[in-house]
Structure 1
């Protein structure tokens, strides 16, 4: 019984005298802190490696710097800074994942394989979507405010901004339709060859938009010839046939003209 009480007293007073236990906790905490620091070091090393070895990462970082400078110039609000931060982070994160996927695929499958190509293409597609989203966010946030800086007294940009928003959406729609049709016909690549011609579709879509932007005949003629030159260059270089170029031009022009014509008829084009 006395021995039991002695042990209890020893354990109580031991809380204040066990230096070995105290020193062991310090060592454990230091080891944990070292592991935490190492984790940050590894993460930063990964970002530096991607920046050094990936050309696209350099472009993304440069774009992020420009966007931050623009955000300072327009005195962006907290909500706008949050949207910009999310968009920029989304692009950089997807690029880092794409780099990791490429390295892992090269390690596992040094030889060419359809599944390896699929993995790389899908990862690159994620980066492309993130970049397009960032461009759209940048346009919506910066367009009107930058015009306010250079056109503070003349409010004509309010109308132009509305048309500009519609134009951007139309061009995105045309690009999506081209990709869908190319996947259906399964010929060529998204940027070269195949039905229809994406370059011709975008060029004649821009010409269709131009019809509702200005009534100056000289500008319209110049816009038509520019679109025609784009289409002619695709045929001359042997990338597309005349039929593919005509299909692309008809697609782009029809989509732009129909959307803008209907909006104008309903009186909602300049709202």
Structure 2
């Protein structure tokens, strides 16, 4: 089964969406970069129709220099749901995409079915701070993304799933600029997000790699406690890329979405 490519105009922003599978719809939001790709979705394609949009300024989507924060991304994605004609799809978000999904559920949870937050950013909890991206050199980054560093290295220059170096560097430059526009308001989160989580009405699964160095796993319990209908799944011996390190994570995700 191969990925399809859908191209939509969302308020003047050319937005590219990869789609695969058959079944109930799942909207899956990527994190602060696209380097790990979306092959994980193949593990759900026999049960679901998964839509994987590239956020404006990321991957194959066009830049949106007028976006100035996460709220622009929230509005964009809600428009995207309508443009795709999706009726209460499941919503999945990883890392920055988890923060994005959480805010979407806060303001429009009734438009979605079940919610999966996979190591979400956004909480900025002072007792469990995330890694300082600005202080992590390129050579150290893989160890922050995966407990088994060899898994992360697949997506970096020299790795089996990395594009040619010029394409890799161009993508990181483009996405770095888009990320900067999102983080320019409050950094990797919002100071009031923790107060809003109680508004999420959806049945929610909070997933976290036990050895996550990018966003520490002790945050997971805070998310699960503050979302009324949440349950928690900790993945042993996995880091921030739990779905890539432990394929059984994807199966567990699918089991939750299937109810």
User: TM range, normalised to the smaller chain?
Assistant: under 0.3
Provide TM-score, normalisation by structure 2.
0.23
Higher Cα radius of gyration: 1
**Structure in which a larger fraction of residues adopt helix:** 1
Structure with higher RCO (Cα < 8 A, 6+ apart)? 2
**Structure in which a larger fraction of residues adopt strand:** 2
